[in-house]
Amino acid sequence: MREHITLAPQIEKAILSVPREEFVPQEYVDSAYVDTALPLVSGATISQPSMLAIMLLELRLDPGHTVLEAGSGCGYFLALLSELGAIATGVEIIPELARKSKEVLAKLGYRADVIEGDAAKVRFLRPFDRVVFSAAVDEIPKWAIDLLAPNGFVLAPVGGRSDQELIRAYVDRVECTGKRCRFVPFV
C-alpha cells in the first residue's frame, strides 16, 4: 500500500510544469505520466514521480540553494530542482545520458549544469547546500559529505537492491527519514 503524499504547492507546481515526456525514450512517451520508474539506457531509469516528490520534500529546499545530483540520468530531477529555484548541477557517468540530458534541459530552457563523469572524482568550485543521490549507495560516501556547505546535507537511498531507505547525512550526524525506496545501484 502506497503512503499518501501531501505536496507543498511549489512542489506540485514544479511536477506539473516539467514535461516528463521530454525526458523519457520515445518508446515510453505514452507511459510518461504513469507513476512508475521507466527504463533509460545502460540499466538506468527515470524515477517514479511520487518518489521524486518525496525526495523534493525531504530536501527541504529554499530558492537559491545549490544542489548537486549524483547520478542525474536524463535530467528530469534537475529540471524539477530548477523549477523550485535551486541552482542545480548534475553529474552523470553514462555519456549518452549526460549528452541527452544537456540537450533536453537546454531545449526546455532550464539552466542546470550537467557534467559527464564520476561524481567522486569531479573537482567542484563551490560547496553545495544539498547533495542528492538518484541511485542507491551502500553507505553515504565521504566525498559527498566533503562537498557540503555549512548546514548542508546529503540525501541518498541507502541499502541493498531490494531494501533501501532515504537517509539524510550531515557533517556531524545521520538522520533516518523512514521513507522506504528502491533505486538502481549507484555506478
Q: What is the CATH number of the domain that holds 165?
A: 3.40.50.150
Tens digit of each residue's pLDDT, the chain (187 residues): 345 567 789 999 999 999 999 999 999 999 999 999 999 998 889 999 999 999 999 999 999 999 999 999 999 999 999 999 999 999 999 999 999 999 999 999 999 999 999 999 999 999 999 999 999 999 999 999 999 999 999 999 999 888 899 999 999 999 999 999 988 889 8
Query: Does 101 qualify as catalytic in the annotation?
Result: no
121 lies in a domain?
A: yes
Q: What is the pTM of this model?
A: 0.94
pLDDT at res. 3: 53
Q: What does each C-alpha distance from 40 to 13, 28, 47 come to in angstroms?
A: 25, 9, 10
Residue 74's Cβ-side half-sphere holds a number of Cα atoms within 13 Å equal to 24
Which of 42, 47, 82, 101 is an active site residue? 47
| β partners of residue 88 | 67
Q: Quick one: how far is CA 25 from the chain centroid?
A: 18
Total domains in the chain come to 1
2 lies in a domain?
A: no
136 lies in a domain?
A: yes
Comparing CA positions, the residue from 27, 31, 82 lying closest to residue 56 is 82
1 lies in a domain?
A: no
| β partners of residue 74 | none
Which tens digit of pLDDT belongs to each residue from 114-160? 999 999 999 999 999 999 999 999 999 999 999 999 999 999 999 98
Please say whether the beta carbons of 163 and 186 come within 8 A.
no
